[in-house]
Structure 1
Amino acid sequence: MSESKIAITVVVPVKNEEANLGKCLSRLSRFSEVIVVDSSSTDRTPAIANEYGANIVNFSWDGKYPKKRNWLLLNVTLRNEWVLFLDADEFVDAAFCDAVDRATQDPVQCGFWLNYDNFFLGRRLRFGVPQRKLALFRVGKALYEQIDEDHWSGLDMEVHEHPIVDGPVGEIAARIEHKDDRGIIKFVDRHRDYAVWEAHRIVRLRSSGIALNKMTRRQRLKYGNLSRWWYPWVYFLFTYFLKFGFLDGSVGLQYAFYKTWYFQTIRLLIFEGASGHGYRGRPS
């Protein structure tokens, strides 16, 4: 007797992800629906999605709300009650599939935090600040934060926006492997784009007076303090020493360094007025 499929729709947003997509999709055969949302890739990404039998939906962003994940939730009818968002460089295993299958049988929960094992320079990071995302929830019970933006960057997908879930949220302990095989240049390019976006968001938060109390605890800590001179260095001390990042050896040091560079870059962009727009005051 064939194994019944897990009643979860997996959505993989992509753009030019031929290096990672095949491995990602090869782990998703147990799910009843897999959708690849493609931003007009120019490499083999669409062909790879076809090879693995995924449904392909093309997305073209106009620079405003909604971005890719919210657009899909608002415009595409999904087969299942639950949706799981995975990036192309995130890989699940049998233990994770079993865990989400069990967890989504709970009639009370409306979403779940997921835990990740990060890789950097080809090595697993066992220590440092753990990565977690709220990326599994009931369809119709959550949307990502609506942030009014107008061409802040070329990021057409919700990256730092947090899903707002209407109902109880649990956590799944089984871990997802987060391993991007595209090299350090792609890592730096991606985080440069993220830094520009985050600087713009902080400028907008300050100018609009949006209350931080509607955000998660981690968001409140970050957005309340990111422009302060000490934040990048406290992050380095916290992740490298207090969270034992030094036990990951040279890779742990390099990762902590790059994350510190990332937060310092955001701070300097705020100081410059997010590349010439909005807040121009000196950071505290």
Structure 2
Amino acid sequence: MNQKISVFIITLNENQNIARCLEKLFWADEIIIVDSGSSDETVQIGLLYKAKIIFHKFENFGKQKQFALLQTKNDWVLSIDADEVLSDSLVNEIQNTVFTSEFVGYTIPRTHVFLGKVFKFGTENKRPVLRLFNKKNGFFIENKVHETVIVQGKTRSYENEMLHYTSEDVTKGISKCVNYALLSGEFMFEKGKRTYFIKLLFKFPLEFIKVYLFNRNFLNGYQGFIWSMFSAIGSFLKYVKLWELQRKSIHSPAPGIHS
């Protein structure tokens, strides 16, 4: 590896995940944790791994990631979430990378781990995500959700994966599903998206069929079934939230009009 690399992570109450993530970042030249007010031991654990801790109020995922990016001192950066873990083979692959001007970013295959199950089938198995890039050529779109790195230039893909520990129990899985769905609905409304009641009637069953059957999650055991249910529920709630917001906007009085 001929370049120094900074790693940055945004956190809020990640004490169950952060140590597992940080253990695989021993090779990094700098680790930045941007925390938005954890009340657990996230910060203390980060300090044990020599991370630089910066406190910053959370507005949305895109803005928080972009803020964290701007705190790094090296041009090459790795964006990773607290619930993601690099495999040993991926660490070796990164360390053996000779960075040149030909590529400005690298995608990493990411594999889903849900309720303790590593998904070997479906679209969540080794899905490529752009995470390692030269910040001179890239930035985050400051979206409320679906925060995305945009780079200007050529990218290539690593062969080895990282694991994404999404939920280790059903309670947390439900909470994440609902919260993310509501944020997604709000984001869609802010972007001018609209929906129809008839779409709500069919959204859940069609999404479940797509994720469970067409995406082959039935091959991932009972965890694949539960994940497919969560995906369908989340998609349904997202559109319910969008429907609610657009109905409120229709029935809201115009500015300057009072009853």
TM range (shorter): 0.7 to 0.9
Matches within 5 A, 1:56-71: 56-61=53-58, 63=59, 67-71=63-67
Matches within 5 A, 1:1-284: 7-61=4-58, 63=59, 67-74=63-70, 76=71, 78-103=72-97, 105-130=99-124, 131-147=127-143, 159-180=145-166, 182-206=168-192, 228-229=199-200, 230-273=202-245, 278=249
How many matched pairs?
247
Does the 8 Å CA contact 2:2/2:99 hold for their aligned counterparts? no
Q: What 5-or-longer segments of structure 2 have no aligned partner?
A: 252-259
Counterparts of 1:279 and 1:268, CA distance in 2:
15
Larger radius of gyration: 2
Residue 253 of structure 1: how far off its partner (Å): 0.9
Does the 8 Å CA contact 1:203/1:279 hold for their aligned counterparts? no
SS at match of 1:163: strand
1:265–1:224 Cα change, 3 Å: closer
What's the TM-score, normalizing by structure 1? Answer: 0.77
Residue 231 of structure 1: how far off its partner (Å): 4.9
SS at match of 2:110: strand
Does the 8 Å CA contact 1:113/1:172 hold for their aligned counterparts? yes
1:239–1:42 Cα change, 3 Å: same
What is the identity, as a one-letter code, of the residue corresponding to 2:225? L
Residue 190 of structure 1: how far off its partner (Å): 1.8
Residue 85 of structure 1: how far off its partner (Å): 1.0
Does the 8 Å CA contact 1:6/1:31 hold for their aligned counterparts? no
Per-residue CA shift, 1:148-205, capped at 9, x if unaligned?
xxxxxxxxxx641222212222222211011146522222212212111111121122
Counterparts of 1:172 and 1:224, CA distance in 2:
38
Counterparts of 1:277 and 1:189, CA distance in 2:
25
SS at match of 1:201: helix
1:70–1:86 Cα change, 3 Å: same
1:278–1:196 Cα change, 3 Å: farther
Identity of aligned residues (%): 23
